[in-house]
Amino acid sequence: MTSRKHPFAEGEFYHIYAHSMGDLVLFRNSRDYKRFLVTLFTANNKKDIPRLDRHFDLNLVWDIRDGKIDVGVPLVDILAFCLMPNHFHFLIGERKDGNISVFMHRVLVSYAKYLNLKYERRGHVFESKFHSKFIEDNEYLLRASAYIHLNPKGIRGFNKKERSYKWSSFQDYAVENRWGKLLERGPVLSQFDKPADYTHFINSARKDDYMT
């Protein structure tokens, strides 16, 4: 495995993305998407990930969000996400040097085990290395959030309707935050007077040159 061009440094932001192996479909139904979201939020702490096979839908996430379950100090700040059929994107803030690597390992391994067990398959689920882009400045931060939230435009029925795509955090910026403190919107959304202004920014960014 080749080394990264940049370290994961405390206080910095990164665009993280990972693809399935050989275009394997990662999410075949809504239950798979929900299972990944549960993994995403439960893996973001220093404690062991709970037995996720004992939980259904997003009830465990709601309990964490509402303070009914204490999972401890987050490893990273999750600013934005988008789950696509064969890949996903995160916008993440590093809380402590190296935490992103720990967090991503937990997410990828946990979901790969789930997928292989559920669909009775063997072998790798994800490419050998997740990808990352260092967010150099604030403009880049905003462009990355736009790129992530516009990702569903290639899915039938969602072009110019990306806000209604359930498996991204766009609606949590534009309407209401479903995840509470589990989703750290502040670094991006605080730069806009109201959510509608962020939606306008996203729509104006459709021809942006930001590429992964």
pLDDT in tens, 111-125: 999 999 999 999 999
CA–CA dist 46, 95 (Å, integer): 12
pLDDT, tens digit, 9 for 90 and up, residues 136-192: 999 999 999 999 999 999 999 999 999 999 999 999 999 999 999 999 999 999 999
CA–CA dist 133, 121 (Å, integer): 31
pTM of the predicted model, to two decimals? 0.92
Strands 87-94 and 76-84: antiparallel
Within 10 A of 108 (CB to CB), how many other CB atoms are there?
18
Question: Coil, strand or helix: which one is 210?
Answer: coil
Per-residue pLDDT, 119: 94
pLDDT, tens digit, 9 for 90 and up, residues 3-48: 567 789 999 999 999 999 998 999 999 999 999 999 999 999 987 7
Q: What is the mean pLDDT of residues 49-75?
A: 84
Spatial strand order in the sheet of 76-84: 76-84, 87-94, 13-19, 131-134
Per-residue pLDDT, 150: 96
Enumerate the H helices of 3-51 as residue ranges.
30-42
Q: What is the mean pLDDT of residues 60-74?
A: 91
Per-residue pLDDT, 212: 43
The third-level CATH classification (topology) of the domain covering 13-204 is: Alpha-Beta Plaits (3.30.70)
CB of 135 closer than 8 Å to CB of 14: yes
Per-residue pLDDT, 49: 72
CA–CA dist 146, 151 (Å, integer): 9
Which of 19, 12, 17, 40 is closest to 140 using CA atoms?
Answer: 12
In the chain, domain spans: 13-204
CA–CA dist 11, 8 (Å, integer): 9
Q: Which residue do the tokens 């942006």 mark? A: 208
